[in-house]
């Protein structure tokens, strides 16, 4: 603009003849950047739409079946009479048992690696195993559980077998999340305690773990929310799809929400698809609630850190 | 130095360290257990079927009377669905990663993170439901010939499932590119996109490759989506509109069928799982090695 | 090493002393008769293959303040952290030579680190109160060493805070978070916390470097108070501070001890050219 006006006033002042203007390369044009930003926003918006569609689709399909009876009935050959009593109680049992196995083991392992971790062969092997286990498909855990817990140890297709399998499955996730949380604890807390003559364990127990707790909790909640959604390992384990009893001990046979949903989903009749949608809605509600708890804990924690 | 309280204290410390080491050894036991179980049971299988049949036959029909044990149909099904998933999640994930790390404001970032996390946390059975009862019907408008079980819809659902992982791993990789590189590109008069494509992406290529490989491993190991939406017909083809059976779907099929313990069919479970394990573990290890090298580069 | 001779040069045994009243004139005599609390002999310290300390010899007298000065990276903090074996926490650190406290080698086999660190308290450069209440911070040490009695703990907390000159400021809010205290108060809290386990030696690693001048002078006053009961070793990069608070000063440069002597002498008549250059501000 400025330049143009200057030309108007002083027409005799001509800029030196320029070489023929080269076109700017494609990526350097402002349009390219705008296009990219548009594309990125479009993809993000699509992801959001899919998320809403995913949850909305299931919730709308399942809404018709979501009344009290659905929670209090056992499965049935008639879709409208079938319910998820065995499934949701089974899922709850599974969750609690999995937590009680995986939490102490996972946190213990993370503390060992992060706080005691010597750079020896054992630690190296451990790191390698954990990194590898984190990437092992969940069906493989099911195969392991089938052979070790169901057959070799003779736990049959019980809650115990299911929970042990799921515990092994989430263990690497818990270890990694806990280590991450332990790493955020300032060095000064450890040094301060040690300089007062605290033992290693006293330092960990009284200083490090309390400070890392919110981070550990967040990571573990997310891990367990994954555990209750797992279907494949339980199917491989041979979890039953028709169970008409509420589990009363760790040796009870069991079913779980995702298995029940899968069972209904794989039937040809569409009425059962409605049941599947309702069961999935219950599962999703529970999972999203867990996620929200994790988000709240994290937000609170971050505020306190600042 | 006095040492009266120390023997007891020291014994406790040693005990605790031992207990913690024991906790962590569970991971080693699990890895060892997986390998042992797969090897032992696969060995039983190879007592009856020669490895050459596994590798050179083109039919997979262990559950039928006329038994064939060529694993290629399962591998083809796995590769097809995984390829569809990756062709969706890799470019989209990369674009999201670039946008988030180079363009987005802090607010967008904070809003986006929980959404991606939620998307990643949704149980795969939900994606399976979505693929079977939402994506497939939608695809039927475009391809009327498409079956109610097909590789395409399962692949698409899987792509959406993997997207968050691809995006966040790539973002981590882009994040580690040092500022000086960006500034160097800008100082030469590069536009932002030129800077990204000329300086940032080449520098982050190791991490991005690792992300792609991990995504591939995840796709190959994904079970419920393909078991629900892709079908259970082990056919050797690469037609995305037709049904396929993946390795994981086969494992589910056998598990549901109450196959008697100790039979040949039962042992196929372990052979397929073995192939799956080798494939995913190989990919994981490659990805890990790339990330390690990459990390060292910028230290 | 010439440096270690500084203290031992005058071997005039005068059994009469250990008198509390000391004047500048008899400072030299004082050194010879002072009981040696910490004796560092031929200490070499390696970070992996990097040699961070070169044959250090220094004798630190009991119930006095000894200052370690020198430019950053000269090894003064490293040596300080060797005295309560905090360097053990860093991977790949190895130490040769010996450090004795009351003639006991603290690097000998079977030494109880917990017992050692109870005897040798430490205050860090960056104040590091635990994210707990003021009371719990001070009571932390006694508690981990097995004191459970509430009255005893109350008493220890009270006395420690008094000694650290913090009691008046915090007596009404002992159970509020220590993180709400000001920087200077936090550092005095860390001193109180160290005192609560009743140490004999107090190591201070640039305890005032992150503080404003008023808080700094409070800490320095406190050191002046504590010198009668504790053997204090303070690392500082502030030469005025060393001159103000210490009885002897050791000057380090590139991992070696260049010179050690009574503070007044070292600052007025340094024997080494390097020391003179440093204290006159020609480098560092």
DSSP characters over A136-186: S-HHHHHHHHIIIIIIIS---SBHHHHHHHHHHHHHHHHHHHHHHHHHTS-
Q: Nearest CA to A129 among A113, A107, A118?
A: A113
| First CA to last CA distance, chain B | 43
Q: Tell me what percent of the residues of chain B surpass a pLDDT of 90.
A: 45
Q: What is the pLDDT of residue C168?
A: 93
Distance from C-alpha of A195 to C-alpha of A190, rounded to nearest angstrom: 8
Query: E-assigned strands of C28-79?
Result: 36-47, 50-61, 65-69
Q: What is the pLDDT of residue A1?
A: 43
Q: Please indicate, yes or no, if residue C284 is contained in any of the structural domains.
A: no
Q: What is the pLDDT of residue B212?
A: 94
Give the tens place of pLDDT for each residue, B227-261: 999 888 888 888 888 899 999 999 998 888 777 88
Could A196 and C91 be called an inter-chain contact, meaning their C-beta atoms sit closer than 8 Å? no
Return the axis-axis angle of helices C150-163 and C134-144, rounded to nearest 10°.
Answer: 120
Q: Tell me what percent of the residues of chain A surpass a pLDDT of 90.
A: 43
Window 210-229 of B, Cβ < 8 Å to A? 214, 217-218, 220-224, 227-228
Q: What is the pLDDT of residue C5?
A: 38
Return the residue matching tokens 């065995």: A86
Q: Nearest CA to B153 among B236, B88, B220?
A: B88
C16 pLDDT band, cuts 50/70/90, is very low
Q: What is the pLDDT of residue C10?
A: 39
Q: What is the pLDDT of residue C31?
A: 52
Say whether pLDDT at C93 is over 60: yes
Distance from C-alpha of B34 to C-alpha of B288, rounded to nearest angstrom: 20
Could C118 and A198 be called an inter-chain contact, meaning their C-beta atoms sit closer than 8 Å? no
If phi over 0 gives left and psi between -120 and 50 gives alpha, with beta otherwise, what is residue C124? beta
Question: Which residues in C have their CB inside 8 Å of a CB on A?
Answer: 84, 86, 89, 91, 113-118, 121-122, 124, 126, 128-131, 140-141, 144-145, 190, 193-194, 197
Q: For residue C264, what are the domain limits?
A: 2-279
CA count, 13 A, side-chain hemisphere, A236: 31
Taking the Cβ of residue A132 and every Cβ of chain B, the question of whether any pair is shorter than 8 Å is answered with yes
Could B6 and C146 be called an inter-chain contact, meaning their C-beta atoms sit closer than 8 Å? no
Instruction: Please report residues of C whose CB lies closer than 8 A to that of B3.
Output: 110, 112, 115
Mutation choice for C interface testing from A196, A214, A215, A301 by most C CBs within 10 A: A196
CATH number at residue C13: 3.40.50.300
Distance from C-alpha of A103 to C-alpha of A95, rounded to nearest angstrom: 11
Q: Nearest CA to C135 among C117, C153, C162?
A: C153
Return the axis-axis angle of helices B106-121 and A270-305, rounded to nearest 10°.
Answer: 140
Give the tens place of pLDDT for each residue, C143-195: 988 889 999 999 999 999 998 999 999 999 999 999 999 999 999 999 999 99
Distance from C-alpha of A122 to C-alpha of C212, rounded to nearest angstrom: 48
Say whether pLDDT at B2 is over 50: no
Query: What is the DSSP code (8-state) at residue C148?
Result: -
Q: What is the pLDDT of residue C63?
A: 92
A166 pLDDT band, cuts 50/70/90, is very high
Instruction: Please report residues of C whose CB lies closer than 8 A to that of B1.
Output: 104, 106, 111-112, 115-116, 119
Fold annotation for A94-305: MetI-like fold (1.10.3720)
In order, the DSSP letters of C234-246 are EE-S-HHHHHHH-
Sheet of C65-69, strands arranged across: C120-123, C201-205, C231-235, C65-69, C248-253, C256-262
Distance from C-alpha of B125 to C-alpha of A232, rounded to nearest angstrom: 9
Say whether pLDDT at B192 is over 50: yes
Distance from C-alpha of C75 to C-alpha of C86, rounded to nearest angstrom: 14
Q: Please indicate, yes or no, if residue C236 is contained in any of the structural domains.
A: yes
Residue spans of alpha helices (H) in B190-243: 192-195, 201-221, 224-229
Mean pLDDT in residue range C62-77: 91
A193 pLDDT band, cuts 50/70/90, is very high
Please name the residue of chain A whose CA is at the shortest distance from the CA of residue B99: A40
Give the tens place of pLDDT for each residue, C192-241: 999 999 999 999 999 988 888 999 999 999 999 999 999 999 999 888 89
Give the tens place of pLDDT for each residue, B48-88: 888 888 887 778 887 777 788 888 899 999 999 999 999 99
Q: Please indicate, yes or no, if residue C170 is contained in any of the structural domains.
A: yes
Q: Is the dihedral of CA C95, C97, C99, C102 positive or negative?
A: positive
Neighbours of A116 (CB within 10 A): 16
Q: Are C249 and C261 in contact (CB under 8 A)?
A: yes
Distance from the Cα of B34 to chain A's closest Cα (Å) equals 6
Q: Are B249 and B230 in contact (CB under 8 A)?
A: yes
Taking the Cβ of residue C15 and every Cβ of chain B, the question of whether any pair is shorter than 8 Å is answered with no
A2 pLDDT band, cuts 50/70/90, is very low
Number of domains in chain C: 1
SS3 B130: helix
Q: What token pair was written down for B271? A: 């052979």
Distance from C-alpha of A242 to C-alpha of B273, rounded to nearest angstrom: 26
Based on its alpha-carbon atoms, the radius of gyration of chain C, rounded to whole angstroms, reads 19
Mean pLDDT of the residues in chain C = 85
Taking the Cβ of residue C115 and every Cβ of chain B, the question of whether any pair is shorter than 8 Å is answered with yes
Taking the Cβ of residue C111 and every Cβ of chain B, the question of whether any pair is shorter than 8 Å is answered with yes
Bigger pLDDT: B156 or B65? B156
Q: Are C185 and C170 in contact (CB under 8 A)?
A: yes
A190: Cβ–Cβ under 8 A, 6 or more apart, which residues?
A: A203, A207, A208, C89
Distance from C-alpha of A131 to C-alpha of A133, rounded to nearest angstrom: 6
Say whether pLDDT at B9 is over 60: yes
The residues pairing with C60 across neighbouring beta strands, listed in sequence order, are: C38
Burial class (CB in 10 A: 0-12, 13-18, 19+), A183: exposed
- Taking CA atoms, C223 is separated from A108, B10, B73, in Å, by 42, 34, 80
Return the axis-axis angle of helices B264-297 and A138-145, rounded to nearest 10°.
Answer: 130
Q: What token pair was written down for A65? A: 């079946």
Range of A176-180, C12-16, C112-116 with top mean pLDDT: A176-180
A304 pLDDT band, cuts 50/70/90, is low
Q: What is the pLDDT of residue B209?
A: 92
Window 129-188 of B, Cβ < 8 Å to A? 129-130, 132-134, 160, 163
Give the tens place of pLDDT for each residue, C50-67: 999 999 999 999 999 999
Query: E-assigned strands of B68-147?
Result: none
Burial class (CB in 10 A: 0-12, 13-18, 19+), C236: buried
CB-closest option in C106, C115, C119 to B6:
C115
In order, the DSSP letters of B139-157 are HHHH-TT--SS-HHHHHHH
Q: What is the pLDDT of residue B70?
A: 83
Return the axis-axis angle of helices A85-111 and A159-183, rounded to nearest 10°.
Answer: 40
Q: Give me the count of residues in chain B.
A: 299
Say whether pLDDT at A5 is over 70: no
Could C114 and A193 be called an inter-chain contact, meaning their C-beta atoms sit closer than 8 Å? no
Window 134-153 of C, Cβ < 8 Å to B? 146
Q: Please indicate, yes or no, if residue C209 is contained in any of the structural domains.
A: yes
In order, the DSSP letters of C154-188 are HHHHHHHHHHTT-HHHHGGGTTSBGGGS-HHHHHH
Please name the residue of chain B whose CA is at the shortest distance from the CA of residue C111: B1
Q: Please indicate, yes or no, if residue C218 is contained in any of the structural domains.
A: yes
Distance from C-alpha of C60 to C-alpha of C166, rounded to nearest angstrom: 28
Alpha carbon B143 to its chain centroid, in Å, reads: 28
Neighbours of A210 (CB within 10 A): 15
Please name the residue of chain B whose CA is at the shortest distance from the CA of residue C103: B1
Q: Please indicate, yes or no, if residue C75 is contained in any of the structural domains.
A: yes
Mutation choice for C interface testing from A114, A187, A197, A211 by most C CBs within 10 A: A197
Distance from the Cα of C86 to chain B's closest Cα (Å) equals 17
Q: What is the pLDDT of residue C65?
A: 95
C22 pLDDT band, cuts 50/70/90, is very low
Say whether pLDDT at C4 is over 70: no
Say whether pLDDT at A60 is over 50: yes
Q: What token pair was written down for B71? A: 């694993």
- Tell me the whole-structure pTM to 2 decimals: 0.83
Is the domain defined by B72-297 classed in CATH 1.10.3720.10? yes
C53 phi and psi angles, rounded to 5 deg = -130, 135
Q: Tell me what percent of the residues of chain B surpass a pLDDT of 70.
A: 97
Q: What is the pLDDT of residue B208?
A: 92
SS3 C104: strand
Mean pLDDT of the residues in chain A = 85
Taking the Cβ of residue A183 and every Cβ of chain B, the question of whether any pair is shorter than 8 Å is answered with no
Mean pLDDT in residue range C80-93: 88
| First CA to last CA distance, chain C | 23
Please name the residue of chain A whose CA is at the shortest distance from the CA of residue B41: A147
Q: Nearest CA to C99 among C48, C50, C56, C47?
A: C56
Q: What is the pLDDT of residue B63?
A: 78
Burial class (CB in 10 A: 0-12, 13-18, 19+), B235: middle
Q: What is the torsion angle, in degrees rounded to the nearest 10, for the CA atoms of residue B196, residue B199, residue B205 and residue B206? A: -130
Q: Give me the count of residues in chain A.
A: 306
B241 phi and psi angles, rounded to 5 deg = -85, -10
Mean pLDDT in residue range C13-27: 43
Could A195 and C115 be called an inter-chain contact, meaning their C-beta atoms sit closer than 8 Å? no
Residue-range domain boundaries for chain A: 94-305
Q: What is the pLDDT of residue B199?
A: 85
Please name the residue of chain A whose CA is at the shortest distance from the CA of residue B96: A40
Comparing A269-278, B108-117, B176-185, C21-30, which segment has the lowest mean pLDDT?
A: C21-30
Query: What is the DSSP code (8-state) at residue B75?
Result: H
Contacts 24+ apart (CB under 8 A), B259-264: B261/A151, B264/B45, B264/B48, B264/B49, B264/B62, B264/B67
Instruction: Please report residues of C whose CB lies closer than 8 A to that of B10.
Output: 112
């Amino acid at each position: 603009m400025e330049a143009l006006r200057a030309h108007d006033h002083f027409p005799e002042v001509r800029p030196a003849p320029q070489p023929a203007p080269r076109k700017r390369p494609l990526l350097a044009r402002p349009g390219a950047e705008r296009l990219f930003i548009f594309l990125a926003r479009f993809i993000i918006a699509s992801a959001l739409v899919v998320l809403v569609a995913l949850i909305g689709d299931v919730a709308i399909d399942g809404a018709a079946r979501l009344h009290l009876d659905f929670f209090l009935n056992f499965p049935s050959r008639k879709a409208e009479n079938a319910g998820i009593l065995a499934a949701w109680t089974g899922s709850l049992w599974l969750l609690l048992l999995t937590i009680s196995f995986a939490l102490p083991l996972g946190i213990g392992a993370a503390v060992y690696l992060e706080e005691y971790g010597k750079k020896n062969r054992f630690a190296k092997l451990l790191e390698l195993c954990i990194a590898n286990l984190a990437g092992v498909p969940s069906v493989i855990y099911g195969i392991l559980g089938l052979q070790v817990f169901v057959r070799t140890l003779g736990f049959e297709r019980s809650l115990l077998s299911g929970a042990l399998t799921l515990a092994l499955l989430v263990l690497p996730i818990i270890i990694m999340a806990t280590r991450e949380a332990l790493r955020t604890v300032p060095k000064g807390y450890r040094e301060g305690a040690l300089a007062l003559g605290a033992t290693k364990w006293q330092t960990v127990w009284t200083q490090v773990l309390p400070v890392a707790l919110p981070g550990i909790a967040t990571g573990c909640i997310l891990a367990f929310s994954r555990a209750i959604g797992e279907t494949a390992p339980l199917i491989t384990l041979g979890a039953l799809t028709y169970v008409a009893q509420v589990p009363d001990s760790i040796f009870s046979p069991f079913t779980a929400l995702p298995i029940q949903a899968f069972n209904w989903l794989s039937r040809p009749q569409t009425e059962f698809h409605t049941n599947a949608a309702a069961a999935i809605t219950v599962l999703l509600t529970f999972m999203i609630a867990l996620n929200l708890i994790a988000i709240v804990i994290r937000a609170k924690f971050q505020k306190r850190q600042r | 130095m006095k040492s009266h309280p120390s023997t007891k204290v020291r014994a406790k410390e040693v005990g605790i360290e031992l207990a913690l080491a024991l906790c962590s050894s569970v991971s080693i036991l699990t890895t060892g257990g997986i390998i042992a179980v797969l090897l032992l049971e696969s060995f039983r299988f190879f007592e009856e079927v020669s490895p050459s049949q596994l590798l050179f036959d083109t039919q997979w029909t262990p559950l039928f009377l006329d038994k064939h044990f060529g694993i290629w149909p399962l591998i083809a099904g796995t590769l097809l669905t995984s390829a569809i998933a990756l062709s969706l999640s890799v470019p989209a994930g990369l674009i999201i990663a670039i946008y988030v790390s180079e363009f987005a404001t802090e607010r967008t970032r904070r809003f986006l993170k929980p959404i991606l996390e939620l998307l990643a946390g949704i149980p795969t059975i939900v994606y399976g439901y979505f693929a079977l009862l939402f994506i497939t019907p939608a695809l039927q408008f475009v391809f009327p010939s498409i079956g109610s079980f097909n590789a395409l819809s399962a692949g698409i659902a899987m792509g959406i499932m993997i997207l968050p992982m691809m995006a966040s791993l790539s973002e981590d990789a882009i994040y580690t590119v040092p500022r000086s590189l960006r500034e160097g590109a800008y100082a030469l008069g590069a536009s932002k996109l030129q800077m990204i494509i000329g300086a940032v992406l080449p520098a982050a290529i190791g991490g991005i490759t690792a992300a792609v490989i991990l995504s591939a491993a995840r796709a190959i190991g994904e079970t419920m989506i393909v078991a629900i939406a892709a079908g259970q017909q082990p056919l050797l083809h690469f037609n995305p509109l037709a049904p396929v059976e993946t390795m994981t779907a086969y494992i589910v099929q056998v598990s549901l069928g109450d196959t008697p313990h100790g039979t040949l069919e039962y042992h196929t479970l372990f052979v397929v799982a073995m192939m799956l394990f080798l494939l995913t573990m190989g990919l994981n290890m490659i990805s890990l090695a790339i990330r390690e090298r990459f990390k060292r580069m910028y230290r | 090493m010439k440096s270690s001779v500084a203290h031992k040069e005058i071997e005039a045994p005068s059994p009469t002393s250990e008198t509390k009243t000391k004047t500048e004139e008899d400072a030299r005599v004082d050194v010879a008769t002072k009981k040696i609390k910490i004796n560092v002999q031929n200490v070499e310290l390696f970070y992996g293959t990097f040699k961070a300390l070169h044959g250090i010899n220094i004798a630190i007298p009991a119930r006095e303040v000894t200052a370690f000065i020198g430019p950053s990276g000269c090894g003064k903090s490293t040596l300080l952290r060797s005295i309560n074996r905090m360097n053990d926490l860093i991977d790949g650190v190895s130490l040769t030579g010996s450090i004795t406290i009351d003639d006991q080698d603290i690097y000998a086999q079977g030494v109880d680190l917990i017992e050692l660190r109870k005897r040798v308290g430490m205050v860090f450069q960056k104040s590091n109160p635990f994210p707990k209440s003021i009371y719990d911070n001070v009571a932390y040490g006694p508690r981990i060493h097995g004191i459970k009695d509430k009255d005893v703990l109350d008493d220890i907390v009270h006395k420690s805070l008094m000694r650290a000159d913090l009691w008046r400021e915090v007596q009404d809010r002992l159970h509020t978070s220590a993180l709400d205290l000001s920087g200077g108060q936090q550092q005095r809290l860390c001193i109180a916390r160290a005192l609560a386990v009743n140490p004999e030696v107090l190591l201070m690693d640039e305890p005032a470097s992150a503080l404003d001048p008023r808080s700094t002078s409070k800490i320095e006053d406190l050191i002046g108070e504590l010198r009668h009961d504790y053997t204090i070793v303070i690392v500082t990069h502030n030469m005025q501070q060393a001159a103000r608070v210490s009885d002897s000063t050791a000057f380090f440069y590139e991992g070696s001890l260049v010179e050690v002597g009574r503070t007044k002498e070292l600052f007025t008549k340094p024997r080494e050219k390097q020391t003179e250059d440093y204290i006159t501000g020609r480098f560092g």
